[in-house]
Structure 1
Amino acid sequence: MKLLQFAMLGAAVAAGFALASRAQAQTPSPDTPPAARGTQPYLPPALRKPLGQGAVLLRYQSVQKLKKRFEAADVDGSGTLSREEARRAGLTVVDKNFDHIDTAQRGQVSFDDVQTFLIQRREEANSR
């Protein structure tokens, strides 16, 4: 019985070393750009979560994609969008909720305004 346990322990250790060496061999250098590594861009340490916490990572990636679309829609480079710019860019969430997002009634919304609106909407949905 002890011999069987010892053999199983040895096999587990050997398998661990094999996986570690294979992972090390496949790890690209830090100089390799993220696209060539097949990975997402740098995530700040505060957003790095174990795989079980994938919702945070998905939310971060969604916000980053929305930010890129927002910046692309900002044709005049003002850092804000008018309702018309949002409509032309196909940012339906911003277009349809423009009056709720533009709480200062400026006729322009910043990306921070959009984020604040989305956070409030998510909190309202979670409180139901």
Structure 2
Amino acid sequence: MKLLIHIAMLAAATACTCAHAQTPNREAAPLMMSAPLHPDPYIPPAMRKPPRDGASGPILQYQAMQKLKKRFEEADLDGNGSLSREEARKAGLGFVEKNFDHIDSAQRGAVSFEDLKAFIIQRREEARSR
């Protein structure tokens, strides 16, 4: 009889422990349900800061620049690292084609990705100063 009481007590204690372990911790619940710190873990840590003013922040700028670089490289049919006006037109890079003369400030007849980046940064700075 004593053995049966000990087994019953042990079973009850085990059941309480298991039930307690399955009960959600109200203090930890907000932490478990919160969004991850950053949605894309492949963005470099320096670029993970949220935008301060709600505008396009460094993360979006980085992603947009990477997409533009990929399109630029795909448009470079001869693989020389720069685009002619014709290559930009054929690739559908209307922004580059439309602003080609401004981007090609050295008047070489071709624009590198660095030329394009400098032009975009210059335009961004001009827009901010208005």
Specify the TM-score bucket, using the shorter chain as the normaliser.
Answer: 0.5 to 0.7
Task: State the match for 1:42 in structure 2.
Answer: 42
Q: What whole-Å deviation, never above 9, does each CA across 1:70-104 have from its counterpart, x for those lacking one?
A: 01001111110000000000101110000100111
Q: Is 2:103–2:111's contact at 8 Å kept on the other side of the alignment?
A: yes
> Gaps spanning 5+ residues in structure 1: where?
1-13, 24-38
The alignment's TM-score, normalised by the length of structure 2, stands at 0.67
> Could you tell me how far apart the structure 2 residues matched to 1:93 and 1:66 are?
11
Q: What whole-Å deviation, never above 9, does each CA across 1:10-29 have from its counterpart, x for those lacking one?
A: xxxx3352455578xxxxxx
> Could you tell me how far apart the structure 1 residues matched to 2:112 and 2:129 are?
26
> Gaps spanning 5+ residues in structure 2: where?
1-24
Task: State the match for 1:81 in structure 2.
Answer: 83
How many residues matched?
101
List 4+ stretches of structure 1 deviating above 4 A.
19-23, 51-54
Task: State the match for 1:62 in structure 2.
Answer: 64
Instruction: In structure 2, give the amino acid aligned to 1:75.
Output: L
> Could you tell me how far apart the structure 1 residues matched to 2:41 and 2:108 are?
34
The RMSD of aligned alpha carbons is 2.3
Q: What whole-Å deviation, never above 9, does each CA across 1:4-55 have from its counterpart, x for those lacking one?
A: xxxxxxxxxx3352455578xxxxxxxxxxxxxxx64722222111375662
